[in-house]
């Protein structure tokens, strides 16, 4: 549900879509890990949840989730493309409301991007922390 909320936000941004390849007629934004083997760079993987903890109060149940949004572009001598993608992801998710199924968004905050280069791709990770109350 949290990855879907991130996907929905990212996939509706025309600027970001223009920076990415497409996969099966949709923007190359994946909520599965790893990305499909036949996906073309540049693309985004928003599937990894390294932290998911309860954030309950006396009268509510909530969750604090950290979701890694990994951005990749071809390693062709310049990281300009992947940096632009990661900065756009950060812009779209940092302190922006998200529609999360079964939850009420309270806040979200991004850290990064940080480098996560691979042998054939430049990579950047933006981690979005999401706090939400359950309905």
| 53-101 pLDDT tens trace | 887 888 888 889 999 999 999 999 899 999 999 999 999 999 999 999 8
What is the model's pLDDT at position 35? 93
Instruction: Find all residues with CB under 8 Å of 94, minimum gap 6, and list them.
Output: 108, 109, 110, 128
| DSSP annotation of 7 | H
Residue 24 has pLDDT above 90, yes or no: yes
Number of domains within the chain = 1
Q: What CATH number is attached to the domain comprising 122? A: 3.30.2000.30
Task: Please state which of the ranges 17-26, 86-95, 112-121 shows the lowest mean pLDDT.
Answer: 112-121
Stretch 99-105: mean pLDDT, rounded? 91
pLDDT confidence of residue 95: 95
Interacting residues of 43 by C-beta distance below 8 A, sequence separation 6+: 20, 21, 23, 28, 29, 30, 35, 71, 72
Residues 31-58: tens digit of each pLDDT: 998 999 999 999 999 986 777 888 788 8
pLDDT at 54: 81
Domain of 46 in residue numbering reads as 2-134
């Amino acid at each position: 549900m949290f990855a879907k909320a991130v996907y929905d936000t990212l996939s509706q941004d025309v600027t970001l879509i223009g920076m990415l390849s497409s996969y099966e007629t949709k923007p190359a934004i994946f909520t599965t890990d790893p990305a499909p083997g036949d996906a073309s760079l540049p693309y985004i993987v928003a599937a990894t949840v390294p932290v998911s903890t309860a954030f309950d109060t006396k009268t509510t149940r909530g969750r604090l989730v950290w979701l890694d949004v990994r951005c990749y572009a071809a390693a062709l001598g310049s990281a300009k493309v992947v940096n632009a993608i990661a900065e756009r992801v950060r812009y779209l998710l940092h302190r922006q409301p998200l529609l999360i199924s079964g939850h009420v968004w309270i806040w979200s905050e991004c850290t990064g991007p940080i480098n996560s280069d691979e042998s054939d791709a430049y990579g950047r990770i933006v981690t979005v922390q999401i706090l939400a109350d359950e309905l």
